């Protein structure tokens, strides 16, 4: 679609396709006109509506200075919050974390009287990447949209299948509870295991779940893939449940693959053993 609209691509990566999709939607929404001003959050939500599969994305734009949007579906995404100079915590009591405020308000992260330097936000897929900077985190859920603006943040949830009066996808403010990481960096890196090889072996089931997030869809079942895999292993999902596998990287080549007489797998290490298993 984007190529028909005049966009040229130097690769097939999401890193290039998604920003150009955002540019196309921005231009289209500007040309369409609206009774209200186009917001950065609304633009990102329209991009999310077009995407399939698992992703965790951060958006910055010169059209919306001082703002950052983070969103996810399937892939993990954590937001860390750090106040300047180890000042008061973003929430009043770590033992009783406060929910996000009422709809329509941004959360003022800095406590009253704290003015020593800027507030810092960190985004990562795993807590081990940010624990050396802060232990206060928000765990974003699927279809969450975190909107940062001038030292404040708000969290919204994309309402898929629901549109407003102008045909744009709806979002609603949601409550996300802050969490305090209790583990130290060394513990998170190796955890309870004696060595990293052992850790990798025991984390294989979770790794498979993470890999397949956003790529397996069961009709009528709205749970995430991890829950579905666990239920399937326990025999709680009937054999007649219909599922759909979404492999975005090969969809456009599916017909060519089906006509192929020979497929060559080139791999090494663990990927080599996976290729051998497919051949058998």
CA-angle at 101, arms to 97 and 102, nearest 5°: 145
* Residue-by-residue pLDDT tens, the chain, 280 positions: 777 767 778 887 778 889 989 998 888 888 776 656 788 999 999 999 988 888 999 999 999 999 999 999 988 899 999 877 544 333 333 333 333 333 333 444 433 333 345 688 999 998 888 888 888 999 999 999 999 988 888 999 998 888 777 778 888 888 888 888 876 666 667 777 888 788 888 888 877 777 776 666 655 555 555 566 666 666 666 655 556 666 666 777 888 888 888 888 888 888 889 889 887 6
Count of beta carbons in the 10 Å neighbourhood of residue 153: 23
Contact between residue 71 and residue 144 where contact means Cβ atoms under 8 Å apart: yes
Contact between residue 36 and residue 18 where contact means Cβ atoms under 8 Å apart: no
Contact between residue 29 and residue 43 where contact means Cβ atoms under 8 Å apart: yes
Contact between residue 199 and residue 191 where contact means Cβ atoms under 8 Å apart: yes
């Amino acid at each position: 679609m984007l190529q028909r609209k005049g966009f040229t691509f130097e690769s097939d990566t999401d890193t290039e396709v998604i920003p150009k999709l955002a540019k196309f939607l921005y231009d289209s929404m500007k040309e369409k006109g609206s009774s209200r001003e186009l917001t950065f959050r609304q633009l990102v939500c329209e991009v999310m509506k077009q995407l399939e599969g698992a992703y965790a994305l951060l958006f910055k734009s010169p059209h919306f200075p001082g703002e950052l949007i983070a969103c996810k579906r399937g892939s993990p995404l954590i937001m860390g919050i750090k106040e300047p100079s180890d000042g008061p915590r973003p929430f009043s009591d770590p033992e009783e974390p406060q929910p996000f405020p009422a709809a329509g308000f941004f959360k003022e992260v800095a406590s009253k009287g704290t003015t020593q330097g800027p507030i810092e936000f960190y985004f990562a897929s795993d807590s081990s990447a940010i624990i050396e900077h802060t232990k206060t985190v928000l765990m974003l859920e699927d279809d969450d949209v975190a909107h940062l603006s001038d030292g404040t943040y708000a969290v919204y949830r994309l309402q898929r299948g629901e549109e407003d009066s102008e045909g744009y996808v709806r979002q609603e403010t949601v409550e996300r509870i802050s969490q305090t990481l209790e583990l130290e960096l060394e513990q998170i890196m190796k955890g309870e295991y004696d060595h990293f090889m052992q850790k990798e072996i025991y984390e294989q089931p979770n790794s498979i779940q993470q890999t397949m997030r956003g790529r397996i869809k069961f009709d009528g079942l709205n749970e995430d893939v991890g829950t579905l895999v666990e239920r399937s292993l326990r025999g709680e999902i009937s054999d007649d449940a219909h599922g759909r596998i979404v492999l975005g990287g090969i969809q456009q080549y599916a017909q060519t693959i089906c006509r192929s007489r020979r497929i060559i797998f080139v791999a090494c290490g663990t990927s080599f053993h996976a290729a051998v298993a497919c051949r058998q």
